[in-house]
Amino acid sequence: MIRRVAFVSALAVVPLLTAAPAQAIPKCNAGYQCDRAYYTDNTHDVQVGGFTLFCDGSTIQWGETTRFQVTTQARCPD
């Protein structure tokens, strides 16, 4: 009985320990090349990673992903 009470008590604490929801990553619009740069902090001085979605649908990614990011888009040629 004591084990059950301890287990139920532990379950009640779990939602309090979960991380806050991540920031939404801007969606890449259809017909655009999307470039995303990841930085160490909100000063955007040191880039630590990057991601590109090319017009043909291929992607490339390097380095780290962080919550400090800048996304730019450029229209694909017709």
The contacts found for 55-64 with CB under 8 angstroms, 24 or more apart, are 55/31, 63/38, 64/38
pLDDT digit string, tens, across residues 9-67: 544 444 444 443 445 667 888 899 999 999 999 999 999 999 999 999 999 999 999 99
pLDDT level of residue 78 (50, 70, 90 thresholds): confident
Tell me if the pTM is above 0.85.
no
| Under 8 Å between Cβ of 77 and 33 | no
pLDDT band at 4; cut points 50, 70, 90: low
Q: For residue 73, what pLDDT band results from cuts at 50, 70 and 90?
A: very high
Q: Return the domain boundaries, the chain.
A: 23-78
